[in-house]
Structure 1
Amino acid sequence: MSKQYTCDDLIFDIEKMSVSTGRLERSLNYNECLLFKAFLDNANQVIDKETLKQAGWPDTIVTDSSLQKSVQKLRLAIAISDCVELRTIAGVGYMLYCSCAGAKVSTPNRRAFNSLTLAKASLTFVSLVLVLLSFFNFSRVTNTHLVSYLHEDYEFIKINHHKVLKQKATTIPPELESMIHRSECDCFYFVAETEGIYTLSVYENAHQRSENYLFEMDTLPKLIKELG
């Protein structure tokens, strides 16, 4: 079985249990993965509810309500795509619609992501892990005072009541700063920039989970709209 599926600008990675566009990535649970695979195997075709329930929950009896909730979660996950849409077919079921199927989208004003640039951006995530480890874990007691170490290239700032870890050399875009300022989420933020590609990590303290985003300035409005 193939480990990756593509549908227009969307990549479904079964092994990672995620969907991504190269700039943004969303995680799926096991049943959502099975369900989305069924949609991809039957793209642009109407699938009835019973078939979907059997595909998403093999040998398990589930309700239409459970299916509806999972479909809604899939819709939120694939909202990162500009092309793919999950449609409800009233009284029948659902259909995964690929509006740009087979077409190669070219936008002259948008710089293409290449493997080297993405690799460099990915290293930022590694840096984040190292920085957080150094700040929260690699500490020592000296003269009864707790001394924590933070890499010299990074700094903590406060935006409203939110704590933000950022590269000193990175200027947070005003639109992103405004979004963080008005956010009601009990979250910790990390912002960095590598060759025009920004990294945003949002850690939810309540659920102890994080979401990671890669974006360019021209895709920032869409990300802000998505994060609300």
Structure 2
Amino acid sequence: MSKQYTCDDLVFDIEKMSVRTDRLERSLNYNECLLFKAFLDNASQVLDKETLKQAGWPDTIVTDSSLQKSVQKLRLAIAISDCVELRTIAGVGYMLYCSCAGANESTSTRCAFNSLTLAKALLASVSLVLIVLSFFNFSRVTNTHLVSYRHDGYEIMELNHHRVLKPKGMVLPLKIESLIEHSKCDCFYSVAQTEGLYTLSVYDNVHRRSENYLFEVETLPKVIKELG
């Protein structure tokens, strides 16, 4: 038995540190879990920034910028929901909008198909990240010989001066192409698709860090809106 919260079509599993619907699941870090629990405990109520910072980072001093980044990540995570929305209340704070929220005890009985699908997608995501990292590592090692390395099953395409690593033969959705083309970030992108899910990895060349996104095809417009 593990404690869970339900919020319309969204389920927040505290033990697993994840949010999910019937179709998809996303992981949260520790602070995001604390922050989301505070939102759920006060669903459809406006919470000021100081209250949220105390809830998400107990006994720790954090900036408004850190709070804003965590809220943005939460928005991306709950984008899998068709109902739940995290709204910004200008000059005050934020509000989690959902018509029905509450805590409940869950059993371990879950749909095996969803777990298997997610496992495959996460495996694909990890594989994609490793390919990207190996590409950069081997490029650095072999630069003196003007040679670069990449997996034989992948190719690099150019989109408005942005490099994109993708499986050979894969056709990128127009919305993803547009997102990359109009990006002002000096980033290297990699895209893959498996089991109806997209994996998008964004490597920031300036700060030498990457962020990875896993989302369902049907939620693509909503996710792109968050990334944009």
The amino acid of 2:188's aligned partner reads F
Would you tell me which structure has more helix in proportion to its own residues?
A: 2
Write the deviation string for residues 187-216 of structure 1: whole angstroms up to 9, x where unpaired.
111111123322222222334231313231
- Return 158-167 or 127-136, whichever deviates more: 127-136
Residue 162 of structure 2 aligns to which amino acid in structure 1?
A: H
2:121 corresponds in structure 1 to 121
* 1:89 CA displacement: 8.1
Aligned residues: 212
- Residue 202 of structure 1 corresponds to which residue in structure 2? 202
**SS of structure 2 residue aligned to 1:172:** coil
Q: Which has the larger radius of gyration?
A: 1
Q: Which runs of 5+ in 1 are unaligned?
A: 103-112
Who is 1:85 aligned against? 85
Q: Distance in 1 between matches of 2:175 and 2:46?
A: 40
Structure 1 residues 46 and 181, CA, compared in 2 at 3 Å: closer, same or farther?
closer
User: How far 1:166 sits from its partner (Å)?
Assistant: 0.4
Q: Which residue number corresponds to residue 214 of structure 1?
A: 215
Residue 92 of structure 1 deviates from its aligned partner by 9.2
Q: TM-score, normalised by structure 1?
A: 0.67
Q: Deviations over 1:76-130 (max 9, x none)?
A: 632524322346789998653323558xxxxxxxxxx733332222221122133
Percent identity for Structure 1 against Structure 2: 66
**1:42 Cα deviation after fit:** 3.6
Check conservation: 2:125, 2:214, Cα contact below 8 A: no
Within 2, Cα distance between the matches of 1:222 and 1:33? 22
- Report the TM-score when normalising by structure 2: 0.67
User: Quick check: 186-195 or 76-85, which moved more?
Assistant: 76-85
Contact 1:89 1:95 in 2 (8 A): yes
Q: What per-residue deviation string (whole Å, max 9, x for no partner) do you get for residues 141-170 of structure 1?
A: 6xx725443221111111111011100031
- Distance of aligned partners of 1:115 and 1:18 in 2 relative to their CA distance in 1, 3 Å threshold: closer
User: Cα 1:182–1:212, aligned 2, differ >3 Å: closer, same or farther?
Assistant: same
In the TM superposition, what are the counterparts of 1:1-228 in structure 2 within 5 Å?
A: 5-12=5-12, 23=24, 25=26, 30=31, 33-44=33-44, 52=52, 54-59=54-59, 66=64, 70=67, 73-74=70-71, 77-78=74-75, 80=79, 81-86=81-86, 95-99=95-99, 101=101, 114-138=114-138, 145=145, 147-207=147-207, 208-216=209-217, 218-228=218-228
Partners of 1:213 and 1:50 in 2: how far apart?
30
Distance 1:168 1:60, change over 3 A: closer
Letter in 1 for 2:136: F
The SS at the match of 1:99 is coil
Over residues 15-69 of structure 1, what are the superposed CA-to-partner deviations in whole Å (9 max), with x where a residue is unaligned? 7866566658585673x5433322223434566777656534545688xx94x98
Q: CA RMSD in A?
A: 4.3
User: 2:106 — aligned with what?
Assistant: none
**Secondary structure of the equivalent of 2:74?**
helix
Relative contact order (alpha carbons < 8 A, sep ≥ 6): 1 or 2 greater?
2
Structure 2: 5+ residue runs without aligned partners? Answer: 103-112
